[in-house]
Amino acid sequence: MTENPRNSEGGKWDIRHHISWWVGILGALAGIAGVILAIILSPDDRTLAQWVSEADGICEQETPIVRPAMRRMVETDSAAHEWITGPKEYLTVAKATEFALRTAKDSESAGMAVVKMNGRLREIERPQGNQAEIEKALDAGATVSRSLEEYSENAQRGIPRTPEFWGSSERAPLLMRKILASLAEWEHRLKALGTSSYCWADVHVRESPSGSPSSSS
């Protein structure tokens, strides 16, 4: 029986088509494998200087938010301390309530500003050789924000003539010292990484001889 020429040609075309298809698939897979291998084998060339440069840029942008927020918190706390130690005729329930609410609001705002700044720093790609010290600095920033949040929550419970008033008053100095300690640690970690004062000057708060905080600027 004679083979149909059309069927013979069609079969050859199908074979060539399938071979071309498989060659294309194999070529694509080889290309993907090459890219993956290059990523795995290529050395991490990102440096600490690059991380610091990006961090300084972020800190410079966040300075107009963080610095005033920290200053307001410090000034409110200092004013409250002066009021408490001042003439007794001014020690009214209304004024105490005002200071409690102001302290809660200002410390919460400072905490939120720190969260934003520290969160943006956390998003920067880190060099392989410096991941541990960068993580410690970011964790220190997170501790600052938690300390400020805790101080704010305590101040909200410091309304006179409420069951929680005296407990809140007793905890306040301890919580402020916790804030100061966490700020000092954050400043130390950021300085150690080589960041500029845009990063750590905003978080520097010192304790005055009276026991209340004071701004460094």
Q: What is the pLDDT at residue 208?
A: 46
Average pLDDT per consecutive 10 residues, the chain (217 residues; last block may be shorter): 52 59 62 57 75 96 92 90 84 90 95 96 94 96 96 91 86 92 94 91 54 51
Q: What is the pLDDT at residue 160?
A: 85
> What value does the CA radius of gyration of the chain take, rounded to a whole number of Å?
31
8 vs 14: CA distance, rounded Å:
10
DSSP annotation of 9 reads H
Q: List all residues 6 or more positions away from 109 whose beta carbon is below 8 Å from its beta carbon.
A: 69, 72, 73
pTM above 0.85, yes or no: no
Q: List all residues 6 or more positions away from 187 whose beta carbon is below 8 Å from its beta carbon.
A: 200, 203, 204
Q: What is the pLDDT at residue 58?
A: 96
151 vs 73: CA distance, rounded Å:
11
Contact 144, 179 (CB under 8 A): yes
Q: List all residues 6 or more positions away from 39 whose beta carbon is below 8 Å from its beta carbon.
A: none
Contact 77, 212 (CB under 8 A): yes
160 vs 165: CA distance, rounded Å:
6
